[in-house]
Amino acid sequence: MPRQARVLSESGYYHVFNRGIGKQILFEDGDDNQRFIDTLRRYTEEEHFELICYCLMENHFHLLVHAETGLDRIMKRICCSYAYYYNEKYGRTGHLFQERYRSEAIKDDKQLLATVRYIHNNPQKAGICRREEYAWSSWREYAERATIVKPAIVLDIVGGKEAFLTFSESADEGHFMDDDRKERVSDVQGQEIIRTVLKLRSGTQLQKMGKEERDAALRKLKEEGLSVRQIERLTGINRGVVLKA
């Protein structure tokens, strides 16, 4: 089946989203988050596009970008660079991201503002912490000092930094591309269980185990309270395999 053509944005603004293949975790620790941010910084300079805001969650990321042309090339370079780093660090092979990135064309100022608020609210919506406490989003760059993002257009529309803080508290509007639910055990707790109970550095190491050893480890994770969906996300192992273990 041919790929569906992307909807182009007349304004050049896009909400871009991608997640790990099999919903596996993308950012195991702070170094991984920082590496992805450094990769974004590098390609904003090399590809001459603007990053308006971002949020890195454990198994997916959201970006709001302004790119008149070349979005496919930009995202390919970002994702390929990070996948190479991740696979080398954790000793894995193959695709890291789930299919192509998804994008949503931004049509007007109202949609632009709603998208910024939605992206920054991801940690709070997931029950991790309040948006201003989260280290891996651009919210603080809006409230304090921008280093990688270009917040000017958003701050101009809302009326400055103080107005932005008020705007951030407003309810999200509209339907967006993902709708993750809070897990019984948080992904942070799940990672710690993998390290302490299974004695593994990363859940993706289960992919290299023999069937019996792998299934025993998967059963142990379920006994520790991790959901099937969460195990799939943290290990990159297919849901059907997790269910049968």
Q: What is the CATH number of the domain that holds 99?
A: 3.30.70.1290
Same domain, residue pair 137 and 210: no
Q: Is 5 part of any domain?
A: no
DSSP 46: H
pLDDT of residue 242: 84
Same domain, residue pair 161 and 238: no
Same domain, residue pair 199 and 153: no
- 131-160 pLDDT per residue, tens: 999 999 999 999 999 999 999 999 999 999
Same domain, residue pair 130 and 202: no
Same domain, residue pair 192 and 163: no
- Reference 191, options 243, 241, 239, 226; nearest CA is 226
Same domain, residue pair 148 and 191: no
- Reference 157, options 142, 177, 144, 146; nearest CA is 142
Q: Is 173 part of any domain?
A: no
Q: Is 135 part of any domain?
A: yes
pLDDT of residue 175: 52
Q: Is 82 part of any domain?
A: yes
Same domain, residue pair 159 and 218: no
Find the mean pLDDT for residues 64-75.
95
pLDDT of residue 63: 98
In the predicted structure, residue 189 carries a pLDDT above the cut 50: yes
- pLDDT > 70: what percent of the chain? 91
Find the mean pLDDT for residues 13-26.
92
Counting the structural domains of the chain, the total is 2
Q: Is 221 part of any domain?
A: yes
Same domain, residue pair 135 and 207: no
Distance CA(144)–CA(138), nearest Å, equals 10
Same domain, residue pair 27 and 148: yes
Q: Is 8 part of any domain?
A: no
Instruction: State which residues form the domain around 235.
Output: 187-244
From 108, 141, 168, give the residue that closes a domain. Answer: 168
Crossing angle of helices 187-196 and 228-235, in 10° steps, is: 70
In the predicted structure, residue 4 carries a pLDDT above the cut 60: no
From 168, 198, 213, give the residue that closes a domain. Answer: 168
Classify the phi-psi angles of 180: left when phi > 0, otherwise alpha if psi is within -120 to 50, otherwise beta. beta
Classify the phi-psi angles of 225: left when phi > 0, otherwise alpha if psi is within -120 to 50, otherwise beta. left
Same domain, residue pair 98 and 23: yes
Q: Is 4 part of any domain?
A: no
Find the mean pLDDT for residues 155-169.
90
Q: Is 38 part of any domain?
A: yes
For 144-186, where are the alpha helices, taking DSSP H only? 152-158, 161-168
Same domain, residue pair 54 and 94: yes
Same domain, residue pair 234 and 114: no
Q: Is this model's pTM higher than 0.75 or not?
A: no
